[in-house]
Amino acid sequence: MKVLRTLFLILVTLLSLFVSITGLTARIDLAARFLQILFLPVTAYLLYILAEHILAKTPVFDQKTGYFLILVWPHRKAALPLKRSEFKLLPATEPKVDVNRRDLLKLIGSAGILALILGLFGRRGGLPNLLGNTNLDSVTLKDPSGNVINPAQDSPTDGYSISQVDDSVPSYLGFVNREGSWFIMREGEDSSFRYVKGEVNFGINWTNRTKLNYNYFDKVF
């Protein structure tokens, strides 16, 4: 097999040398002369490969010293593996609730319970002796102006319970009583409070809470 490769290389080299010599001596046009000049490096390369093969005993079709077509022949490259993008689920974040608003709701609930207790004991004729003071018969409540407050007097918002909360700005608090009456309290950006009330259809009015006409407490109640 090595002998056949050697003979093939010798034959190709001699043929290339014959074409180059005859092309130099022949009378041809300019285009053919240009192609013949381009073929001269091929003949020189084949002579170099043949001499190296005979003197250095190099293989004929070795990739480093063999025929140049083996080097320049296009090879198909392997396809790159397609990487799949990974999607990571982010943990759900809990909505932040204003701590001051929670304290306000607790204060409203505590005030309602306190008013109920004072009202019950006020109707019975006084508070019980919780501190062991026998001289304590009753407690009088006064406002900042010094006017006496009757704990048994009903407040316009008695009997209402919180039903809906909207923590946006401005924020909204919805209250409903057993009869279906309702009122909505709106807290503005300047910490001001406005109110609107109704007798029926709390759900519809809560949905349209941003479009309702709000006013001061004394104007609504």
pLDDT in tens, 135-186: 545 566 666 677 766 665 667 888 899 989 998 889 999 999 999 999 999 9
pLDDT of res. 42:
79
Q: In 3D, which of 118, 211, 205 has the Cα closest to residue 158?
A: 118
What's the mean per-residue pLDDT of the chain?
A: 74
Q: Which of 58-67, 94-103, 130-139, 209-218 has the lowest mean pLDDT?
A: 130-139
Q: Which has the higher per-residue pLDDT, 200 or 53?
A: 200
Domain boundaries, the chain: 2-72, 99-127+138-153, 156-221
Query: What whole-number distance in Å separates Cα of residue 56 and Cα of residue 45?
Result: 16
Residues 6+ apart with CB under 8 A from 131: none
Token pair of 10 as six digits: 């010798």
